[in-house]
Amino acid sequence: MLILLRHGESIWNAADRFAGWTDIPLSEVGRKEAARSGALIAYAGLRPDVVHTSLLRRAISTAAIALDVAERHWIPVRRTWRLNERHYGALEGQHREDVRARFGDEQFTAWRRSYSVAPPPAERTAAGVPAGESLEDVLIRLLPYWETAVAADLSAGRTVLVVTHGNVLRALISHLEGIPPQDIRTITVPTGEPFGYELTEDLHPVGARRYLSTGRRTS
């Protein structure tokens, strides 16, 4: 069983700013969302055996809070930069509505929702940090981790919880469900809403993803 969770609301989500790789903490709302996520996981009778997170504190904190509420706080944790949010390049830290007003709706939407359009690059980044990424770039750096570390846990019969970021989950959903690039912009992932997949032995979804808050399946 695979359980996926976008982190709870961060203080930059609340302020409507691009965060990307900037290490932003959860808001108080986000902490409540994380606790609710843990309660939903427990109520669904799911017992994660291992959790995978990004290196960013909003995902790390969400996982810790959710697992504490679900009384699975002791399970092994694996962390990787490959689960980090999409790097928004020069847009990081900017207010979304300011970017929309400056560049127009079409360019704004392309940067946020398209598959292959990357934001303008950051002028300076630390060693090993991308200057900016498209969703395609995110999927390319995500897949090696999915196909090794996460796949190994799933193939061993473990219930796997992955706590990560909106664009990473959009990329993974598109991969698992075979959604073509032109339809990527229709995928949205709310904060603090765990959902899951039953998977075949070769890690293909059995049916649609299921949201734990409602039990609904979404194709």
Q: Just list the catalytic residues.
A: 7, 85
Question: What long-range pairs does 104-109 form, CB within 8 A, spacing at least 24?
Answer: 109/185
| Dihedral sign computed on CA atoms, order 133, 185, 57, 122 | positive
72 labelled ligand-binding: no
**Angle, alpha carbons 183-185-188 (nearest 5°):** 115
7 labelled ligand-binding: yes
Q: How is the chain split among helix, strand and coil, in percent rounded to 5?
A: 45, 15, 40
52 labelled ligand-binding: no
165 labelled ligand-binding: no
Question: What DSSP line would sit under 139-160, residue for residue?
Answer: HHHHHHHIIIIIHHHHHTT--E
13 labelled ligand-binding: yes
Maximum Cα–Cα distance for the chain, whole Å?
Answer: 50
30 labelled ligand-binding: no
37 labelled ligand-binding: no
* DSSP classification of residue 60: H
84 labelled ligand-binding: no
The full length of the chain comes to 219
82 labelled ligand-binding: no
Inter-residue contact 62 to 8 (CB < 8 Å): yes
85 labelled ligand-binding: yes
Name the binding residues: 6-13, 58, 85-88, 112-113, 166-167
Binding-site residues for substrate, in ranges, read: 6-13, 58, 85-88, 112-113, 166-167
